[in-house]
Amino acid sequence: MEIKTDVLVIGSGIAGLFAAHEISKYADVIVVTKKDKNESNTNYAQGGIASVIDPEDSFDKHIEDTLKAGAGLCKRDIVEILVTDGPDRINDLIRIGTEFTKKNGKLDLAKEGGHSMARIVHAKDLTGKEIERALIAKLNTIKNVKIIENTLAIDLITEHNIKKLKNEPLNNRNCWGAFVLDCNSMDVIKIAAKVTVLATGGLGQVYLHTTNPSIATGDGFAMAYRSGAKIGNMEFIQFHPTSLYRANGNESYNNPSFLISEAVRGFGGILRTIDGKEFMTKYDSRKELAPRDIVARAIDNELKVRGEEFVYLDITHKDKEEIIEHFPNIYNECLKKGIDISKDFIPVVPAAHYACGGVAVDEFARTSLKGLYACGEVSMTGVHGANRLASNSLLEAVVFAHRAAKDIKIFLKNYSHSFPDIPEWDDLGALSYDEKILISHSIKEVRQIMWDYVGIVRSNQRLDRAARRIHNIFVETEDLYKRTKIFEDILELRNIVACAHMIIKSAKLRKESRGLHYTLDYPNQLSDSKIKDTILQNLNP
């Protein structure tokens, strides 16, 4: 089956939906999304979206905070775009129907770690859910946007899967849409598009402990890599310091760790060891409000030194009414698990949370393949550098989705070539689905290896060991992929393995500790000029 459209958007989080909204003003858009349309990392975002709103605040302050967090690797011009476009995009979200929390008729601004000012626009502690709600409600009223759920993009259509074009040099490649799997009928559909926008979100599921929902299997990073697009800075994985600890350990693939938002520390939360002792003063003068990597490493160190499984976050000194007013969702979720956060300390551990690297893009979200744009978490714009400042990711998604839409308008206007002869999907596999155990076991293995050896603290030995193990799983997976009739789990395993490979490869290239990448063998940060972005490109797609 073949569908043709002007623009194909893959993913229905904030980046995909906002891009679709903007593009619908001048072209037809199909959005494919692998589960329900609101299932996304966006839907779980609690804290909010950073922007300069307070008259006491300034663009310069937000820029400086972002650069400081990024540990010398942010692209200053791109950070300037992020920050200066921010207030207009917040207004767009409000116009679309997002109801942010207000105080005395003005946007209520929260403060989070690493920010020198209160600038987090939020909808209580369910900001992402409210943004998704508003965007979906708006898009439901727009005729030339079609959202197709339960449809999983398998691979991008580029020269790499068209036999007679396979030898086209990498710097002259195009993207003409994607092969997608209809997860109801299990048919593969060819969607031919003049422009494709990759907005597939993150890759937290590559790790055993993650705050990301099950959709975050890194599909976009893997699809782009397989088609020869440039990918950058994959070693910079942000571990959120405070996800709710669960006594029975191993999170299942479909069951992310519940996040205790940064805003709880901003609100005055204190981290304590199990015996009740405060410990952040030992690590950083900003204490609980130090950037996430510092807090996560401090917790990791306390756990390793003391041989304990969690630390506590304490907000029992705050007023109960205020706690419930600010954090209704966190209050209720914890209460369901028997923890009254107004009286009890909250047991927390770090968990994989955000990918700062991704598909390398320019200031208009253009990738290295013509006709392929990437925005949101799957992209690497250069705003986060080696570490992301809290609440800058929703902002990045919306700012660069908007800029992509602006550029796509020009791209379509000048579009003169016709589609090549795109072959049908070749699914030769015969193995049936009852071999699922082979796949679920490999997924578990990858997640454990990545957690143990490529987590918060790394070393050459750990990375070498992880690389060997992942290589074996890669070979087994490719073999299984060729023999198996495709279905969701084999596709996701393949993508998780590809992401693990990229993270390890980038981590091995960075022979220093910087931002989120900390290695025992090179504990110091090198001078800025030595290692810039770690760019990967699959040279033989």
Asked if residue 41 binds ligand FAD (CB under 6 A), the reply is yes
Using CB under 6 A, pick the residue from 9, 16, 291, 499 that binds ligand FAD: 16
How far apart are alpha carbons 179 and 422 in whole angstroms? Answer: 10
| CB-nearer residue toward ligand FAD: 15 or 408 | 15
Asked if residue 212 binds ligand FAD (CB under 6 A), the reply is yes
Part of the chain binding ligand FAD (CB under 6 A), chosen from 27-35, 229-237, 408-416, 467-475 = 27-35
Asked if residue 121 binds ligand FAD (CB under 6 A), the reply is no
- For residues 45-104, which are near ligand FAD according to CB under 6 A? 45-49
Using CB under 6 A, pick the residue from 9, 11, 326, 384 that binds ligand FAD: 11
Using CB under 6 A, pick the residue from 8, 14, 135, 298 that binds ligand FAD: 14
What are phi and psi for residue 491, nearest 5 degrees?
-65, -40
Asked if residue 399 binds ligand FAD (CB under 6 A), the reply is no
| CB-nearer residue toward ligand FAD: 39 or 65 | 39
381-405 exposure pattern, b = at least 16 Cβ within 10 A, e = fewer: bbbbbbbbbbbbbbbbbbbbbbbbb
Pairing of strands 102-103, 49-50: unpaired
**What is the nearest approach in angstroms of ligand FAD to the Cβ of residue 506?**
19
**What is the nearest approach in angstroms of ligand FAD to the Cβ of residue 9?**
9
Q: What is the DSSP string of 259-272?
A: B--HHHHHTT-EEE
What are phi and psi for residue 508, nearest 5 degrees?
-70, -30
Using CB under 6 A, pick the residue from 368, 387, 393, 442 that binds ligand FAD: 393
Using CB under 6 A, pick the residue from 158, 174, 200, 387 that binds ligand FAD: 200
| Alpha helices (runs of H) in 234-319, residue ranges in sequence order | 262-266, 292-306
* Cα distances (Å, whole numbers) of residue 410 to 9, 26, 31, 321, 381: 17, 11, 20, 52, 20
- The catalytic residues are 292
Using CB under 6 A, pick the residue from 74, 195, 259, 404 that binds ligand FAD: 259
How far apart are alpha carbons 425 and 4 in whole angstroms? Answer: 16
Q: Is 314 left (phi over 0), alpha (psi -120 to 50) or beta?
A: beta
Asked if residue 253 binds ligand FAD (CB under 6 A), the reply is no
Give all strands (DSSP E) within 99-161, no chain letters. Answer: 102-103, 106-107, 109-110, 120-121, 145-148, 151-158
* Cα distances (Å, whole numbers) of residue 95 to 89, 91, 303, 459: 10, 6, 46, 48
Residues binding ligand FAD: number (CB under 6 A): 42
Would you call 123 exposed, middle or buried from its count of C-beta atoms within 10 A (0-12, 13-18, 19+)? buried
Pairing of strands 106-107, 102-103: antiparallel
Q: What string marks each residue from 127 to 156 as x (binds ligand FAD by CB under 6 A) or -?
A: xx-----------------------xx---
**What is the nearest approach in angstroms of ligand FAD to the Cβ of residue 13?**
2
Using CB under 6 A, pick the residue from 5, 40, 233, 477 that binds ligand FAD: 40
- For residues 475-534, which are near ligand FAD according to CB under 6 A? none
Which residues of this chain interact with ligand FAD, rule CB under 6 A? 10-16, 32-35, 39-42, 44-49, 127-128, 152-153, 199-202, 211-212, 215, 219, 259, 354, 376-377, 391-394, 397
